[in-house]
Amino acid sequence: MTRSIRYHLDHDFNCCNAIAKALREKGINVTVSRQVGLAGASDDEQWEQALRTGRVIVTHDAHFIDFWRRQVEHAGIVRCQQGELSVGDVIRGLVLIWETCSSEEMIGSIIFLNRSLIEGL
């Protein structure tokens, strides 16, 4: 059975509340750190939360690439370069990923959300 991607926005992700609101309006399941009691939590705690709940973590933080390199099975990572994309671009990119990838396809994957991906929309 193919399941829809569920996102978790890392606590230091810029404008995460606005992004989460826009994604929810499109029917996408998303959490933010403050909502799940992880405001100010470490990257390790954010990672563990995403692992426990089967959520794709969305982050600006390059440190999460180190988690990916460990080859621990996870729901996926979407890495956005801070300052490269507008809030609208991030929303469009996350919607595109949600529409075109299943949660099964995201397992163990990392997607670098960047201008060239967004311009392909």
Task: Provide DSSP, 58-101.
Answer: EES-THHHHHHHTT---S-EEEE-TTTS-HHHHHHHHHHHHHH-
3-state helix, strand, coil in the chain (%, to 5): 45, 15, 40
What digits encode the pLDDT tens for the residues 54-80?
999 998 876 667 666 676 778 899 998
Which has more confidence, 112 or 69?
112
Q: Identify the pLDDT of residue 1.
A: 44
Nearest residue to 117 via CA among 82, 92, 88? 92
pTM of the model: 0.86
* Domains in the chain with CATH codes: 7-119 (3.40.50)
Distance between CA atoms of 69 and 63, rounded to whole angstroms?
Answer: 10
**Cβ(90)–Cβ(113) below 8 Å:** yes
